[in-house]
Amino acid sequence: MNHPGRRFFNAIAIISLLLFAASLIMWIRSYWTLDIVSFRQAGFHELVTWSLYSRDGGVELFGEKRYVTTIPPGHDFMWVSAPLNMMSTPPPWVWNPNSMLSYGIIAAFTGALPLWWLIHRYFGTVARRRRLGLCANCGYDLRATPDKCPECGSPAKV
């Protein structure tokens, strides 16, 4: 049976699970390493910079626009990573701990859907099997032997 809605939901749950794992890894990494991901685009007499700072268990997005005359048009991408003890503190207009988003919040939001999916999947399967008169462990039909499952040996729960 084809269920495009279920497949879409499963795909979204898997993507959310991957984002959850990445946020946990970055959360742990942020206590030892300063990561700066930066994108710069130079246009006609202006330079637009977007930077993402990851440090001390949080992440902050910083945007800046400058008017310049010496940079040729174009764009570049940069990732700087260094141990926290080797990096000096960023200037106060760049790093403001009050405006950072904690990785804990990111992990909670990205982990909620996979957790719900796993719980729903397990309890939904067990409830459906019991409702249909099947073994909750293996799915064997228990209509002929309602006391014990002949396939896996588990007692039938009524």
- Give the residue carrying structure tokens 């459906």: 128
Number of domains in the chain: 1
- C-alpha span between 112 and 34 (Å, rounded): 27
Six token digits for residue 108: 């909670």
Q: What is the pLDDT of residue 94?
A: 53
- C-alpha span between 57 and 28 (Å, rounded): 7
**Each residue of 60-109: pLDDT tens digit?**
888 888 887 777 778 888 888 888 765 555 555 555 555 788 899 999 99
Domain membership of residue 51 (yes or no) is yes
Domain membership of residue 123 (yes or no) is no
Domain membership of residue 75 (yes or no) is yes
- C-alpha span between 96 and 84 (Å, rounded): 16
Q: What is the pLDDT of residue 23?
A: 94
**Each residue of 17-43: pLDDT tens digit?**
999 999 999 999 988 888 889 998 887
CA-based angle 158:6:1, to the nearest 5?
Answer: 80
Range of the domain at 75: 4-104
Domain membership of residue 157 (yes or no) is no
